[in-house]
Structure 1
Amino acid sequence: MKSCIAVILFLMTFATQAQNYKFGKVSMEELQQVFNPLDSSANATVLYREEHISFDLRKDEGFVQVREVHERIKIYNKEGYKWATKRIRLYDESNAKSENLEGLKGYTYNLVNGKIEDSKLKKDGTFKEEANKYWKINSFTMPNIKDGCVVEYTYKIDSPFTTIDDIEFQYTIPIEKFDLTIKTPQYFVYNKLLNPNASYMPVLDQSTRNRVETTTNKERTGWKIVSTNYSTSKLEFIEDIITSNETDIPALNDEPFVDNLDNYKAKLILELTVIKYPNQPYKSLASSWDAVTKTIYNNPEFGTQLDKSSYFEDDLDALLLDITDPFQKAMLVFEHVKSKVKWNNFYGFNSEVGVRKAYKDGAGNVADINLMLTAMLRYAGLKAHPVLVSTKNNGIPLFPTRQGFNYVICMIEDDSLNVLLDASGKHSTFNVLPTHTLNWQGRVIREDGTSDWIGLTPSVLSKDVSSLNVKINPDLSIEGKVRQQKTDYVAMGYRDKYANVSKDDIIKNIERDKGQLEITDIDIENTNNTNEPLLITYDYKLNDGIEAIGGNLYFSPMLFFASEDNPFKQETRNFPIDFMYPFSDRYMINILIPEGYAIESLPENKKVQFGDAGEFLYLAKANGSYLQLTIALDMKTSFILAQDYNNFKDFYSTVIEKQTEKVVLKKI
Structure 2
Amino acid sequence: MKYIYLSLFFVFCSVKSNAQDFKFGDYTHDDLALKNTVIDSNANAIVIREFGTARIDNDDVRGRMMVEYLYHVRIKIFNKQGFDQGNISIMQHVYGNDAEDEIRDIKGVTTNYVNGTFKQTDLDPKKIFKEKKNKYRNLTKFTMPNLMDGSIIEYSYRISIPRIFNFRNWEFQSDIPKLHSEYIAYIPALYNYNVSLRGALKLNDTKAELQKECLRISGVSVDCSKMTYTMKNIPAFVEEDYMTAAVNFKSAINFELSDYQTLDGSKRNVTKTWKDVDNELVSDKSFGSQMKKKDAFKDLMPELLKNTTDDLSKAQAIYRYIAKNIKSNGFIGIYSETAVKKALETHSGNTGDINLSLIAALSAANIDAEALILSTREYGQVNDLYPVITDFNYVVAKVNIGDKSYLLDASTPLLPFGLLPLHCINGKGRVINLKKPSYWYDLIASQKDYTRYNFIATLTKEGKIKGELLTYSSGYAALKKRKGIQAANSVEEYVEKLDEKMPKISIGKYEIQNVDSLEQPLIEKYDITINSYDGTSAAQILFSPFFIDNISKNPFNLNERTYPIDLGAMTESRCSIQLTVPEDFVLTEQPKDLNIALPDNGGRYLSSTSFMNQVINFNQLLQLNKPVYHPAEYLSLKELYSRIIQLQKTDIIFKKAK
Q: Quick check: TM above 0.5?
A: yes
Residues 508-527 of structure 1, C-alpha deviation per residue, up to 9 Å, x if partnerless?
55654x66333444443333
Q: Is the 8 A contact 1:125 1:143 kept in 2?
A: no
Contact 1:126–1:141, Cα closer than 8 Å, also in 2: no
Work out whether residues 470 and 480 of structure 1, in 8 Å CA contact, stay in contact via their aligned partners in 2: yes
> Using the alignment, how far apart are the partners of 1:546 and 1:326 within structure 2?
61
CA offsets per residue over residues 324-373 of structure 1, 9 Å max, x none?
42222112211111121111221211112222222222221111111111
Whichever of the two has the greater Rg, that structure is 1
Query: CA contact under 8 A between 2:338 and 2:349: conserved in structure 1?
Result: yes
Tell me how far 1:280 sits from its aligned partner: 4.3
Distance 1:141 1:356 in 2: 45
The alpha-carbon distance between structure 1 residues 208 and 315, as it changes in their structure 2 partners (threshold 3 A), is: same
The yes-or-no answer on 1:244 pairing with 2:246 is no
Q: Deviations over 1:105-156 (max 9, x none)?
A: 3334445565413042333431230522x44333333344444433332221
Instruction: Give the share of equivalent positions with the same residue, in percent.
Output: 26
Task: Say if 2:641 is the partner of 1:644.
Answer: no
Tell me what 1:336 maps to: 321
Q: How many angstroms does 1:184 deviate by?
A: 1.3
- Specify the SS of the correspondent of 1:566: coil
Within the candidate set 171, 174, 194, 2:174 is matched to 171
Return the match for 1:313 from 285, 292, 298.
298
Which residue does the alignment assign to 2:40? Answer: 39
**Is this contact kept in 1: 2:54–2:168, CA < 8 A?**
no
Q: What is the CA-CA distance between 1:54 and the residue it aligns to?
A: 0.8
Q: Could you tell me which residue of structure 2 aligns to residue 84 of structure 1?
A: 86
How far has the Cα of 1:474 moved from its partner?
3.5
Name 1:54's counterpart in structure 2: 55
Which residue number corresponds to residue 14 of structure 2? Answer: none
Correspondence for 1:595 among 573, 578, 583: 583
1:72-108 per-position Cα deviation (integer Å, ceiling 9, x unaligned):
2333344333322333333323347532222223334
Displacement of 1:599 in angstroms is 3.8
1:616 maps onto 2:617 in alignment: no
Say whether the 8 Å CA contact 2:52–2:184 is kept in structure 1: yes
Residue 570 of structure 1: how far off its partner (Å): 4.2
Residues 1:408 and 1:121: Cα distance change in structure 2 (over 3 Å)? farther
User: Who is 1:253 aligned against?
Assistant: 238
Once residues 535 and 436 of structure 2 are traced to their aligned partners in structure 1, the CA distance between those partners, rounded to angstroms, is 68
Structure 1 residue 66 corresponds to structure 2 residue 53 = no
The alpha carbon displacement at 1:667 in A equals 3.7
Q: Indicate which of 458, 461, 470 corresponds to 1:483.
A: 470
Q: Secondary structure at the match of 2:237?
A: coil
2:409 counterpart residue number? 422
Is 1:126 aligned to residue 137 of structure 2? Answer: no
Q: Is the 2:89–2:141 contact (alpha carbons within 8 Å) kept by the matching residues of 1?
A: yes
Question: Does residue 321 of structure 2 align to residue 350 of structure 1?
Answer: no
Amino acid aligned to 2:546: M
Indicate how the Cα distance of structure 1 residues 415 and 501 shifts in structure 2: closer, same or farther if over 3 A, else same: same
Give the whole-Å Cα distance in 2 for the aligned partners of 1:546 and 1:437. Answer: 51
CA contact (8 A) 1:459 1:582 kept: no
Give, in angstroms, the shift of residue 167 of structure 1: 1.4
**Residue 521 of structure 2: which of 504, 508, 533 is its match?**
533
Match of 1:500 in 2: 487
Measure how far apart 1:608 and its partner are.
3.4
| Deviations 1:205-262 (CA, angstroms, capped at 9, x unpaired) | 22222216568xxxxxxxxxxxxxxxxx852332011112333221112233222222
Q: Structure 1 CA distance, aligned partners of 2:403 and 2:585?
A: 58
Distance 1:200 1:426, change over 3 A: farther
Q: 30-39 vs 559-568, which deviates more?
A: 30-39
From 464, 476, 493, the counterpart of 2:451: 464
Cα shift at 1:181: 0.8
Paired letter, 2:92:
L
1:180 Cα offset (Å): 1.1
Q: Distance in 2 between matches of 1:320 and 1:479?
A: 48
SS at match of 2:232: strand
Kept after mapping to 1: 8 A contact 2:111/2:118: no
Counterpart position of 1:628: 617
Q: Letter of the 1:89 partner, please give it.
A: M
Asked whether the 8 Å contact 1:583–1:635 carries over to 2, the reply is yes
- 1:521, 1:144 → 2: CA distance? 57
Query: Residue 568 of structure 1 corresponds to which residue in structure 2?
Result: 556
Query: Do the aligned partners of 1:202 and 1:266 also contact (CA within 8 Å) in 2?
Result: no
Matching of residues 244-393 of structure 1 within 5 Å: 244-321=229-306, 323-393=308-378
The verdict on how the C-alpha distance between 1:270 and 1:489 changes in structure 2, with shifts beyond 3 A counting, is same
Which position in structure 1 is the counterpart of 2:544?
Answer: 556
1: CA distance, partners of 2:72 / 2:509 = 59
* Larger displacement relative to structure 2 (370-379 or 323-332): 323-332
CA-CA distance at 1:59 after TM superposition: 2.9
Quick check: 167-176 or 73-82, which moved more? 73-82
* Residues 109 and 120, structure 2, Cα contact 8 Å, conserved in 1: no
- Structure 1 position 204, deviation (Å): 2.2
Q: Answer whether contact 1:410 1:421 (CA < 8 A) is retained.
A: yes
The answer to whether the Cα contact below 8 Å between 2:128 and 2:140 also exists between their aligned partners in 1 is no
**Partner AA of 2:566 in structure 1:** D
Asked whether the 8 Å contact 1:484–1:536 carries over to 2, the reply is yes
Cα 1:20/1:204, change in 2 over 3 Å: closer
Aligned alpha-carbon RMSD (Å)? 3.1
The CA distance in 2 between the partners of 1:534 and 1:600, in whole Å, is 37
* CA distance in 2 between partners of 1:433 and 1:548 (Å): 54
Q: Would the aligned equivalents of 1:202 and 1:246 in 2 still touch at CA under 8 Å?
A: yes
- Name the structure 2 match of 1:524: 512
Using a 3 Å threshold, how does the CA distance of structure 1 residues 580 and 211 change in structure 2: closer, same or farther?
A: same
* Preserved contact between residue 499 and residue 506 of structure 2 (Cα < 8 Å): no
Given that 2:609 and 2:617 are in contact with CA atoms closer than 8 Å, whether structure 1 keeps it comes out as: yes
Distance in 2 (CA, whole Å) between partners of 1:464 and 1:214 is 65
**Higher deviation after alignment, 344-353 or 581-590:** 344-353
Amino acid at match of 1:362: H
- Give the letter for the 2:425 counterpart: L
Q: Is the 8 A contact 1:208 1:238 kept in 2?
A: yes
- The alignment status of 1:187 with 2:190, answered yes or no, reads yes
User: In the aligned structure 1, how far is the partner of 2:570 from the partner of 2:378?
Assistant: 20
Contact 1:212–1:234 (Cα < 8 Å) also in 2: no
Describe the shift of the 1:128–1:599 C-alpha distance in structure 2 as closer, same or farther (beyond 3 A).
closer
Shift of 1:51: 0.9
- Larger mean CA deviation between 612-621 and 514-523 belongs to 514-523
Q: How far apart in 2 are the matches of 1:247 and 1:424? A: 45
Q: Is the 8 A contact 1:396 1:439 kept in 2?
A: yes
* Separation in structure 1 between the aligned mates of residue 485 and residue 146 of structure 2, nearest angstrom: 38
Q: Is the 8 A contact 2:214 2:224 kept in 1?
A: no
Deviation (angstroms), 1:542: 3.1
8 Å CA contact 1:546–1:554 kept in 2: the answer is no
Deviations 1:296-327 (A, max 9, x none): 33322111111123333323343223634222
Q: Unaligned stretches of 5+ in structure 1?
A: 1-18, 216-232
- The 1:636–1:546 alpha-carbon spacing in structure 2 relative to 1, beyond 3 Å, is farther
1:583–1:636 contact (8 Å) kept in structure 2 = yes
How many Å separate the matches in 2 of 1:407 and 1:247?
A: 37
Is 1:98 the counterpart of 2:100 in the alignment?
yes
Offset, 1:531:
2.5
For residues 450 and 20 of structure 1, the distance between their equivalents in structure 2, rounded to whole angstroms, comes to 49
Q: Supply the distance in 2 between the matched residues of 1:547 and 1:438 (Cα, whole angstroms).
A: 52
Secondary structure of 1:83's partner? helix
State how far apart, in whole Å, the 2-side matches of 1:296 and 1:73 are.
45
SS at match of 1:81: helix
* 1:147-162 superposed matches below 5 A: 147-162=149-164
**Aligned counterparts, 1:400-439, within 5 A:** 400=386, 401-415=388-402, 417-439=404-426
CA gap 1:168/1:213 in 2 versus in 1, 3 angstroms? closer
